Amino acid sequence: QNTLKESGPALVRPRQTLTLTCSFSGFSLLTTQVAVGWIRQPPGEALEWLALIYGDDTKVYSPSLRSRLTITRDTSSNQVVLTMTHMDPVDTGTYFCARSLLLASPFDLWGQGTTVTVSS
Amino acid sequence: EIVMTQSPATLSVSPGERVTLSCRASESVKSNLAWYQQKPGQAPRLLIYYTSIRATGVPGRFSGSGSGTEFTLAISSLQSDDFAVYYCQQYDDWPRTFGLGTKVEIK
């Protein structure tokens, strides 16, 4: 069964670094065109794509957040990790990881999301 | 970046009605356009990809059309399970971008 699940802290202090883990099963991130990405959603707002990593370790980032994001993968443990530095209250929201199967394709499978609150 | 504009922001409809949701891209995305459905407290669910192909398990009452910059999602006869927010997304260029969504609510 193909699944993704996000994990990470529910509360982060301003200026701290957020580290989120996406654990997936049922597919491999060793295939070149398969990718796992991160998308976030502030409360009551729209979806925003953040970053994506392909099976060949190619990484793509949102230009507006590029300086704060790092995406990595651990193929042995089937995990993708996203770090976001210098967290701010505007970064509060639900963070989703999702799968993409081709170089140009939508997100066909999503995790349930993890909620992150940035507050002192 | 490609800006995706959805209209209307909210649609108030009765069950059984046909609804049409619009999505416009600021530049051509060819046919690389997807639609997602999101219910409160849930992750988005892929409904339509490549403009008009229904994802696995999506009922036939959902259909997509368009190309280039103008796209439409139609629901032929709205069911109670269809009240949700619908997002379009382009995957033709980086960064991937979503529209702000159309909320379909019960009239």
CB contact under 8 A, A47 and B94: no
pLDDT of residue A102: 87
Which band of pLDDT confidence, cut at 50, 70 and 90, is reported for residue A104? confident
Number of A–B residue contacts, CB under 8 Å? 58
Give the pLDDT mean for B3-14.
97
Looking at CA atoms only, how far is residue B2 from chain A in angstroms?
Answer: 12
pLDDT surpasses 90 at A103: no
pLDDT of residue A31: 86
CB atoms within 10 A of CB A46: 16
Q: Which residues, 6+ apart, have CB-to-CB distance to B38 below 8 Å?
A: B44, B45, B84, B85, B86, B87, B101
pLDDT surpasses 90 at A32: no
**Average pLDDT over all residues of chain B:** 97
